[in-house]
Amino acid sequence: MQVDIIETPDLGDRSYVVSDGTCALVIDPQRDIDRVEQHLEALGLPLAMVLETHLHNDYVTGGHALARRTGATYVVAGRDEVAFERCAAHDGDDLAVGTMTVHVMETPGHTDTHLSYVVTDHSGDPPAVFTGGSLLYGSVGRTDLLGTDRTDDLTRKQWRSARRLAATLPDEAPVYPTHGFGSFCSTGSSTGDTASTIGAEKQHNDALTEDDEQAFVDKLVAGLTGYPAYYVHMAPLNAQGPDVPDLTPAPSMEPAELAARLRTGEWVIDLRDRAAYAKHHLAGTISIMLGDQFSTYLGWVIPWGAPLTLIGETPEQVADAQRQLVRIGIDHLAGAATGSLDQLAPGHPTRSYRRATFEELAGTPEAVVLDVRRDDEVASGRIQGSTHIPIDQLTDRLHEVPHGLVWVHCASGFRASIAASILDRAGHEVVQIDDDYEQAEKAGLTLV
């Protein structure tokens, strides 16, 4: 049995292709299924089955479209209410795929209906367990996505599910989670490992090393952080059975139309490097630099369903951004434009703002400081006298931003670059602190 990993680093997730030399199955595929199809073509194997561990909260699945396109059996929890035909899986089911057997285990916690899949073949090798958002590397999937009133109950179920997996499977069994590689679907204590086994998890996974259920619940709940606003839309979309995404290039936007959209306050996202943006940008744009955090933070700060235009240096840059966006259900763009700023909207006003370090901030004692980190980050310390507004709340709380020149920071500079552009768009004078927060104390700033 061969297990191949398809990484989606911008969302911190993994999908899996499992094969036995005669056919393949796929677990938790992302929306852009062409990556899976290319992998199957390289293997030269037909796809027999697609399995979902749960109705995902952080991305739109490609499972429904992949199964329809290939004729593969689509396996979804029988207790999930969905608008499409599927193979309804229940605890204890055994599904045959070529020479492999998929054993279904209910592992509620991340969601009420979460499943894990234990896959074996005839080789005698240890079974492989695909744990979705249940047992992760070092911890478990978060348990608050169904509402705060359910968090305690789901956290207890998550602890019991992890222990059921550990008690059922041999120590040698490799563990393959979907979340835990930077996804906000994981709890904060996941280790960042890239491989593990049941035996290794018994040694360092919070759910397996803490024998007191209440102590585990208290620790996990206390460590839960904020999560992206777009999450609320994902499970309903997945329950409808999403189609294949349209990755044809977004409509090309003419300079006059782009300028008009900027004048009316529509959301125009500049994908360029944040340093280049600070130096020179079109007035009214928002800076969200294309990279592994792009779609997460765009989905966090831009109102869901708002018309969206992308501008970048090259068509390839825009295409990369578009691929990331379809993974979170943003299928249609108002338009896109590429080239230099003079080409994008000639005659439209441009702006700039200063970038600085914490050392420079320390040398400006009268500076007004805005901290846009999450609540949990600020709870462990912040710069004395700073104002705190989490980045996802900034557009709704602009009236709380102090007057005058504002120095804005986060933990690394990425969120500060987005926040600085939001403030700049609203007419504030701003300095973006593009520096690691750990440098603040070293620079002599007082932390409280």
Q: Is residue 447 part of a domain?
A: no
Same domain, 347 and 362: no
Number of domains composing the chain: 3
Please tell me the pTM assigned to this model.
0.94
- The sign of the dihedral angle between the CA atoms of 336, 342, 346, 347 is positive
Residue 133, domain member (yes or no): yes
- Whether residues 221 and 259 share a domain: the answer is no
Q: Tell whether 175 and 276 lie within a shared domain.
A: no
d(CA 129, CA 169): 8
Q: What letter would DSSP give residue 201? A: H
**337 and 393 share a domain?**
no
Residues 263 and 386 in one domain: no
Question: Is there a domain that residue 187 lies in?
Answer: yes
Residues 6+ apart with CB under 8 A from 389: 370, 371, 372, 397, 400, 401
In a shared domain, residues 190 and 74: yes
Burial 20-44 (b: 16+ CB within 10 A, else e): beebbbbbbbbbbbebbbebbeebe
Residues of the chain with pLDDT under 70: 188-192
- Domain-terminating residue out of 212, 240, 268: 240
Closest to 358 in 3D by CA, of 244, 446, 233, 298? 446
User: Is 209 a domain residue?
Assistant: yes
Domain membership of residue 164 (yes or no) is: yes
- What's residue 168's pLDDT? 97
- The verdict on 336 and 372 lying in the same domain is no
Are 108 and 181 found together in one domain?
yes
Burial (0-12, 13-18, 19+ Cβ within 10 Å), 440: buried
Asked whether residue 346 falls in the same domain as residue 358, the answer is no
Please, are residues 65 and 33 in contact by the beta-carbon 8 Å criterion?
yes
Tell me if 248 is assigned to some domain.
Answer: no
Q: How many CB atoms lie within 10 A of CB 414?
A: 20
42 contacts 75 by C-beta, under 8 angstroms: no
Q: Are residues 144 and 179 in the same domain?
A: yes
Q: How does DSSP assign 140-166, residue by residue?
A: BB-S-TT-HHHHHHHHHHHHHHHHHHH
- 246 within a domain of the structure (yes/no): no
Domain assignment present for residue 280? The answer is: yes
Q: Are residues 298 and 427 in the same domain?
A: no
pLDDT at 190: 54
Q: Amino acid identity of 360?
A: E
pLDDT value, residue 194? 86
| CATH, residue 344 | 3.40.250.10
Same domain, residue pair 399 and 316: no
Closest CA to 311 of 282, 331, 354: 282
Domain termination residue (choose one: 187, 205, 240): 240
The amino acid present at 200, given as its one-letter code, is A
Instruction: Give the containing element (helix H, strand E) for 275.
Output: helix 274-279
Q: What angle do CA 330, 331, 334 make, to 5 degrees?
A: 90
* Lookup: tokens for 109: 């916690």
Give the single-character DSSP code of 386. Answer: -
CATH of the domain at 62: 3.60.15.10
- Boundary residue ending a domain (351, 370, 401): 351
99 lies in which domain range? 2-240
Identity of the residue numbered 349:
P
Residues 297, 280: Cα–Cα separation, whole Å: 22
Give the separation between CA 246 and CA 390, rounded to whole angstroms. Answer: 33
